[in-house]
Amino acid sequence: MIGSFIAGGTSAVSAVSSFVGVSTFNSLIQDMNACDSYVREISSIRTELAAEDPSDSLLAQMDDIVTSCSGLNSRNISDVRGMMIANGVISTTGAVAGTAGGAVALATGAQGGKGTAGQNIAVTALTGTTAATGIASTILSGMTLSGLKKNGEIAARCATVF
């Protein structure tokens, strides 16, 4: 009984953290789009400068910026954002199932442990649902971290050229 409440509470915390993270990603997506735009602009200016003065020392620096900062775009973050929304929904389902399982178990306990077979099946099903949402949430969190790691590596390379 207490286990269902704990699992439901853990799922609720996961849901809240996922939904809070989504709002952070909205501003990050805007910043990444701006960065991608600046990289394209630098690339364009580099092409013009190379045509005017192929020996200009800025060309090498511009090449470094374009090479190091390319690939940082919001599509990857949008995918991560989508996974966080899915994780929030899944975790909310787990929170509801865990709390409901605890409530049914409490009702069964209030009857002196003489709950109906239906109540016992309901507690088992709700506990299974909570466990399944926890597993799904963990998998999505891992995928989210993988997407963030890719962008983090690009951002770190980009920062080093400045």
Report phi then psi at 115, rounded to 5. Answer: -70, 165
**pLDDT score for 127:** 64
* Contact partners, residue 155, CB within 8 Å, separation at least 6: 72
**pLDDT score for 143:** 62
Burial call 109-126: b when 16+ CB within 10 Å, e when fewer: eeeeeebeeeeeebbeeb
What is the domain partition of the chain in residue ranges? Answer: 2-161
- How far apart are the C-alpha atoms of 101 and 4, rounded to whole Å? 6
Q: Convert the pLDDT of each residue in 56-114 to its tens digit.
A: 999 999 999 898 888 776 776 777 777 777 767 777 776 666 666 777 666 666 666 56
Alpha helices of the chain — where are they, by DSSP H?
A: 2-52, 58-69, 74-110, 117-161
